[in-house]
Structure 1
Amino acid sequence: MGNGFNDTRTDGNHSASKKGKKLEKYDVVVCGGGLAGFCAAVASARHGAKTCLVQDRPVFGGNSSSEVRVTPHGAAAFHVYAKETGIISELLIEERARNHEPIFENGWTNSVWDMTMYDLAQRTDNLTFYLNTTILDVRMAYERKIASVVGYVANTEMEIELEADVFVDCTGDGIVADRAGCEWRMGSEASEEFDEPHAPLQASGDVMGSSLLFKTKDLGYPAPFTAPDWAAKLDNPDFFYKQGRNPNDMRGGYWWIEIGMPWHTINENEDIRHELTRYVLGIWDWIKNKDPLTKELAANHAIDWIGQVPGKRESRRIMGHYLMTEHDPLNRTVFEDEIAYGGWFLDLHTPGGLLAPTSEHASSEGYDETSPYMVKSYCGPYGIPLRSAIAKDVDNLMMAGRNISVTHAALGTVRVMATTALVGQAVGTSAAIALKHGISLADVPSQAIREVKQTLLRDGCFLPNATNEDELDLARTARVTASSQASCSGSEVKAELQASGELGHQDEILRQRKGQWIAISEDVLHRVSVCVTNLSDTPQIVEAKMIPVDHIWDYRCDANPPLAATELEIMPGNYQWIDWDVQLSGDDGLKPGTYVRLDLLANPHVAWHCGNGIVPGQTCAYEMGEGKMRRDWNGPTRSFRVDPPQRAYSPEHVISGVTRPYRFTNLWRSDAKEALPQWLELKWEEQQSIGQIEITFPGSLLWEYRGYSPFYRDPQCPKDYRIEAYVDGRWQELLQVKDNYQRHCRHTLTQSVQTDTLRVVIEATNGDPSAGIYEIRCYQG
């Protein structure tokens, strides 16, 4: 990019007067380079729109950047196999593969993450970006249309004016929408307005606060600390231990160093930053020098970094064509214009933060996962409508991020960054599609929503209520076979645990009902077995039920009548396999291609042991209260056996239209007993002209971002593979890939191939003994 300066200099004294103005024209201008804005801009550019991304900081990432260091959260924190995919997944997988730094809750983000985003921005065609550029003004063409935005590039004395057909406000504070005259809300709606369970009785200006993070370093020797006089003076342990502010980790990263009210989170952001800095120093002084519970633990720790950019949770919310209330995530409303999903709980922080009587409600309860508050706050995965991301008052303005059209209560779940990244990708995609077809943004939800959904799916995203229906995808008409396929006999227990007789984990005890999802592929199920320990010295009875469920996030305990029920008698002793002859068939309601859930009801004298590792697509949960389950522990597989074994990983799953476990496993997985290489084949009745092949591999879905280690490459993901076509009576290699770790891979052939048979040969994985594929798509050149 040129600098655009008009440069005048005087002779002799080297002084200079510099004034610069630039006027540039784009199809789409995205204001704000956090995860929502970044994903919006990349998506828009990838779909052919000439796009400009404007960011007021020197790095991308917003709250997730190395300046703020908030860990990106999302649905996978509470739901297995719910990790966000698409551009955000591409970025996070890349960062883990490159980064030496372990992930800690907050405060540990380093510049590798910034550079991962910067690298993608540099490599994206059709994308121009300006960092360190603040939006100062919005110029209107007429009342309902933005003509341009005006920004100022710091340290350059340059003003830029950016014209565009579509603008996307991802500024967090809704600066563009506000300057354009859009209606917005800020504060908390009264419960009477929408009858929301989390809403207060009276409406107010209360918003969630901002946080300032810090990081420490263990020096290995004593590290003294003296707080400056202006630091907060904290001497009362109740402030910490009775108000949900537990300094339980010496590494830092306390999100509860949070302040908002009574300061205005926009106009008084600098005052908030200063107050937070005072409290960071005062809290560290308490931990290092005053708290008898932490002084010794923190003796060798020194502050390594203190943020100076507050991580903001809430300010303006721009009114769109639909206002999401908390009823939508709680009831999992199905939207015709669904373009993203969420699954974080309804996490509403206490207004005032450190100045309030208690911290965020779940924290003040000690994160009791079965409390009435957590039961009413657990939600998702749920869909998010496009209409909540289209401004109702300006025709060419969209939003993505924490400023979309939601109530304060609903913002508690949709505000987390992995969720906003999905909305951002959907908004950028929608903008490009609207421009391509020459339709208004307001008409996209009714006139082009199918194309938006199908494009998002093709780009690696997941939508709870949509599947691949792309008529151009040639793979959908192919017959699929494979060199081998795995079956599921169950999940065994570690031999060393059985030999020791010790309890594997406290979460194995049946203090409440627990369930294990089992993928059914056969039309009969003769027997199921579980491995349990009777912790008492008397026989125990455990009720067992086999319940049909809609999908792996169907947490309803008794919504559907059980297919079978019994009482299991368990004698005293450790690690016993208990058989249940269920003898189920189609006549009993057993349906191949669905899940059933094996539930064991509560008995605190009995432990149901976890299996040895995770069986793909077979997860577990426990009852949290009020007839609702939630993900158990970290989503392991509990011990079980099934007879007959279930062929849960058939090759035809690669054209099921879904790229993760959901209503079924949706995964082809080769038999682990068969050595690699393994192949999967597509065969058509007639010759096809194939120019593009797109593959979605397994991996990086089970947990959220912080569940993955430095330099991580998911073992399930194929590392080395090749694609071949059967041409003129022999196999012809079309391409070969080495050292892969990304889950969504697109390959454009240099020349289209004419064939009726195509196969993917997986030569090596990143560690798993089985080859695996979720989806293959094929398109003409």
Structure 2
Amino acid sequence: MKIKEGYVAAGRNRQVIVRQADLIITGGGLSGVCAAITAARQGLKVVLVQDRPVLGGNASSEVRLWVLGATSHMGNNNRWAREGGVIDELLVENLYRNPEGNPIILDMILLDKVASEPNITLLLNTAVYEVEKSNPDTISGLKAFCSQNSTEYRLEAPLFCDASGDGIVGFLGGAAFRMGAESREEFDEPMAPDADYGELLGHSLYFYSKDTGKPIQFIPPSFAADVSKEIPRFRNFKANEHGCQLWWVEHGGRLDTVHDTEQIKWELWRVVYGIWDYIKNSGKFPEADTMTLEWVGMIPGKRESRRFEGEYMLSQRDLIEQRTHPDAVAYGGWSIDLHPADGVFSERQPCNQWHSKGVFQIPYRCLYSRNISNLFFAGRIISVSHVAFGATRVMATSAYVGQAVAIAATLCREKGITPGQLYHRGHMDQLQRELMKSGQHIPELALADDTADLVHEARIAVSSELAFSGFRDTDVSWKSLEISAAQLIPLPAGRVPAFMLAFRAEQDTELKVELRMSSRKGGFTPDITLASKNIALVAGDMRGQLDFDIELQDNQYVFLTFLKNSQVKLPYTEERITGLLSVFNGVNKAVSNHGKQLPPVDSGIDEFEFWCPQRRPGGQNIAIQLSEPVKLFDVDNVRNGIDRPVSGPNAWVADPADGAPKVTLSWPGPQSINRIQLVFDTDTDHPMESVLMTHPERVMPFCVRRYRIEDAAGTVVYQREGNYQTRNTIVFDRPVITDKLTVYVEHPSENIPASLFAIRCYGGAR
């Protein structure tokens, strides 16, 4: 290309491109990405505007923070709580491709997923700088500029979503917002911080190091801090964290975390290079002699800036009391995690994390502006108080509300209404139903009235169903009761069966065993003791039977709890079954779990014990046997509308002895089937941190890897090998016409029987 232009006295105009869409999403963090992918798959034309060169926001290689949400490093009582839908798909994909936690690979996966959606127009390196309005409460378009191609974009749509983190669209559009903490009185929040603690969370920078195998000198920049004099917690630095986990190197809570970001970044650079100077040159870390800095963050990871006002503001009591909302569309489960505003320069603990007893609902009314009629919010800027923000701000939760926004936008577009009208005109049941069909688990709701699902009209037969009578008591490993342990067991209403197991005692001793349950239906905090027994053990091996003489009123999980006794060992098995899990009253300091939560008086926080699983390759089940088999793994679970364990396993599980497990659906007459959806077990108890932390496997051990589907004539209409994803959606080029479908599945391994949470069949296009 050759261009030659003469002098233009009036100057030149930049190139302008107009893009029109159904939904324009500003912000390419995980909330914007999940919103864009979900909306595109629903048929909306989407423009995703991202002011950075990569997607992922704080999860990207530019910041390198791991993705977490309700699972909270497996350090709370939120069992089987990993978020569903698109964020689950992304985390499972990242685990399969990237168990080492390489942030560059995560960048690639996010770009790949977005680029694979033909309905998404992605604009990278493009910053929104102006909002246009057709009237005071309606946005008509955005102006954005891409520095890389020197192009201005005019973006027009009937609906907009601000997932930008700082809320640039909401701010320029005039939507009501807040920065800083509310008073204790406004929402009756005992945790509201005072001025001394501070009202904003700051930014953080990470760094990576690597060992070169030869001595490396480090000469610090002139602006590096003397951390031994300036940083109260400088003794906590370690040399061997090649992927730095110093999240508490935080600053900016006393500043404007939007407009002072560059100033905050420079101060964090000062601290980070000071840390490395201290590690390399103080003489206290000889192991760092051959290490070098491999990477330092160029932009800070932001925690808090603006929060925008919706029609409802979630607050402390919503979280702690686990309040239900008629318009619930998502959930959270991270602790209320507040930090002192002085960050790394503070004498205080770097954070205060206080957990609720379980997950909490997030209502739809928090996800759209109360002022701007066509503006959604996603990510950390949703309508919550500063205290509640401490729990809703984390990335998996932010992504989850992004998916909710996308389904709401789809319904708004179909009905020609605004986000607020979707609520006020009574469309919440439809929104919740469509969300659950897209993989969104909403606590206390089930996809039970999906009339489009042909499976509800089918007769279902199976080759076998697990009747759980216990685990094998051979090939066990013996583990000491150094900490209290429990086996989570789903039981039907009625009399609790007796439990049998072996014990090994180092000397004559007494073991206390309790049968516990949660005070909340579907909860996993064992705060009610149903019965207790003391068992006299003699030195050596013996078997015992535990009969508690208890009647349960409902189907629910119980905790067969063995209290700490270092003289006793229990048998553990490598057998794993969907919906069964062992938990421990241990410690997980990463989430301020010290075995028991002891909050300050009058803080409005519950006192309770933590009972959490162990990470694989640990986490074996206690080898118990039952006097009566548990028959809660039947095939009706595949159409009960709940795709994870809650009050029961909610899965069909085949008998381990079944050599060819299968589920057969039959109808009185031929059906026209365009789409089949299968939901497998990818262990929603596993948090799948995206970077820094590595994982021992690429595929969750419960997941069915190989299956096939046959029609009434025995013709294979679909087959899959090497599956690792939770949701498999099979779309046929031409409808399958049949009165019978059979799904054949293989056991994942000799220790894990095949399971299936859901089978759904549709004749429609979506």
Secondary structure of the 2:336 match is coil
Which deviates more, 187-196 or 276-285?
A: 187-196
| 1:528 maps onto 2:499 in alignment | yes
Contact 1:525 1:643 in 2 (8 A): no
CA shift, 1:671, in A, is 2.3
CA shift, 1:219, in A, is 2.3
Residue 109 of structure 1: aligned partner = 103
Secondary structure of the 2:674 match is strand
Q: 2:39 aligns with which of 34, 41, 44?
A: 44
Contact 2:511 2:563 in 1 (8 A): no
Structure 1 residues 371-770: aligned runs within 5 Å? 376-446=354-424, 447-468=426-447, 469-491=449-471, 495=475, 497-498=477-478, 503-504=479-480, 508-510=481-483, 514-521=485-492, 524-534=495-505, 537-547=507-517, 553-558=523-528, 562=530, 564-573=531-540, 576-582=542-548, 588-589=551-552, 591=554, 593-601=555-563, 606=568, 611-612=573-574, 614-619=576-581, 620-622=583-585, 624-625=596-597, 628-634=608-614, 636=619, 637-675=621-659, 677-706=660-689, 709=695, 712-726=698-712, 730-763=713-746, 765=748, 769-770=752-753
Identity across matched positions, percent? 30
Secondary structure of the 1:718 match is coil
CA shift, 1:646, in A, is 1.9
Deviations 1:170-225 (A, max 9, x none): 11111111111111110112222222132124599721011111111122333332
Secondary structure of the 2:731 match is strand
Deviations 1:688-737 (A, max 9, x none): 332211111111422111376387122322222211111xxx32221222
Which deviates more, 282-291 or 196-205?
A: 196-205
Residue 600 of structure 2: aligned partner = none
Secondary structure of the 1:412 match is helix
Q: 1:277 aligns with which of 269, 282, 286?
A: 269
| 1:228 maps onto 2:221 in alignment | yes
Secondary structure of the 1:321 match is coil
Contact 2:358 2:525 in 1 (8 A): no
CA shift, 1:9, in A, is 3.6
Which deviates more, 35-44 or 311-320?
A: 35-44
| 1:239 maps onto 2:232 in alignment | yes
Judged with a 3 Å threshold, the aligned counterparts in structure 2 of structure 1 residues 640 and 768 are, in CA distance, closer, same or farther, namely closer
| 1:349 maps onto 2:327 in alignment | no
Contact 1:81 1:661 in 2 (8 A): yes
In 1, Cα distance between the equivalents of 2:24 and 2:196?
35
* TM-score of the aligned structures, taking structure 1 as reference length: 0.87
In 2, Cα distance between the equivalents of 1:302 and 1:433?
53
Which deviates more, 196-205 or 694-703?
A: 196-205
Q: 2:117 aligns with which of 112, 124, 143?
A: 124
CA RMSD of aligned residues (A): 2.9
| 1:145 maps onto 2:138 in alignment | yes
Contact 2:495 2:552 in 1 (8 A): no
Judged with a 3 Å threshold, the aligned counterparts in structure 2 of structure 1 residues 329 and 73 are, in CA distance, closer, same or farther, namely same
Contact 1:544 1:566 in 2 (8 A): yes
| 1:261 maps onto 2:253 in alignment | yes
| 1:777 maps onto 2:760 in alignment | yes
CA shift, 1:477, in A, is 2.8
CA shift, 1:323, in A, is 0.3
CA shift, 1:36, in A, is 0.5
2:183 partner amino acid: A
1:415 partner amino acid: R
| 1:96 maps onto 2:99 in alignment | no
CA shift, 1:46, in A, is 1.7
In 2, Cα distance between the equivalents of 1:753 and 1:379?
46
Contact 1:44 1:51 in 2 (8 A): yes
Deviations 1:255-277 (A, max 9, x none): 11211133321111111111111
CA shift, 1:565, in A, is 3.8
Residue 206 of structure 1: aligned partner = 199
Contact 1:480 1:683 in 2 (8 A): yes
Secondary structure of the 1:756 match is strand
Judged with a 3 Å threshold, the aligned counterparts in structure 2 of structure 1 residues 449 and 319 are, in CA distance, closer, same or farther, namely same
| 1:72 maps onto 2:67 in alignment | yes
Which deviates more, 606-615 or 333-342?
A: 606-615
Structure 1 residues 10-21: aligned runs within 5 Å? 10=5, 19-21=14-16
CA shift, 1:609, in A, is 5.9
Q: 1:171 aligns with which of 151, 164, 173?
A: 164
Residue 365 of structure 1: aligned partner = none
> Where does structure 1 lack aligned partners over 5 or more consecutive residues?
363-373
Which deviates more, 522-531 or 170-179?
A: 522-531
Contact 1:250 1:298 in 2 (8 A): no
Judged with a 3 Å threshold, the aligned counterparts in structure 2 of structure 1 residues 494 and 590 are, in CA distance, closer, same or farther, namely farther
Judged with a 3 Å threshold, the aligned counterparts in structure 2 of structure 1 residues 769 and 611 are, in CA distance, closer, same or farther, namely closer
Which deviates more, 684-693 or 663-672?
A: 684-693
Corresponding residue pairs, total: 731
Contact 1:134 1:153 in 2 (8 A): yes
Judged with a 3 Å threshold, the aligned counterparts in structure 2 of structure 1 residues 546 and 183 are, in CA distance, closer, same or farther, namely closer
Which deviates more, 308-317 or 125-134?
A: 125-134
1:109 partner amino acid: P
In 2, Cα distance between the equivalents of 1:206 and 1:581?
53
CA shift, 1:604, in A, is 6.4
| 1:337 maps onto 2:300 in alignment | no
In 1, Cα distance between the equivalents of 2:658 and 2:249?
53
Contact 2:461 2:663 in 1 (8 A): yes
In 2, Cα distance between the equivalents of 1:157 and 1:163?
20
Deviations 1:524-583 (A, max 9, x none): 544213555546x4432414235476555331412xx72x4433223344x654321345
Moved over 6 A (4+): 244-248
Contact 1:18 1:157 in 2 (8 A): no
| 1:312 maps onto 2:302 in alignment | yes
Residue 83 of structure 2: aligned partner = 84
CA shift, 1:21, in A, is 1.2
Residue 58 of structure 1: aligned partner = 53
Residue 366 of structure 1: aligned partner = none
Residue 178 of structure 2: aligned partner = 185
Contact 2:522 2:556 in 1 (8 A): no
CA shift, 1:335, in A, is 0.9
Contact 1:717 1:766 in 2 (8 A): no
Judged with a 3 Å threshold, the aligned counterparts in structure 2 of structure 1 residues 168 and 12 are, in CA distance, closer, same or farther, namely closer
In 1, Cα distance between the equivalents of 2:67 and 2:733?
38
In 1, Cα distance between the equivalents of 2:607 and 2:504?
25
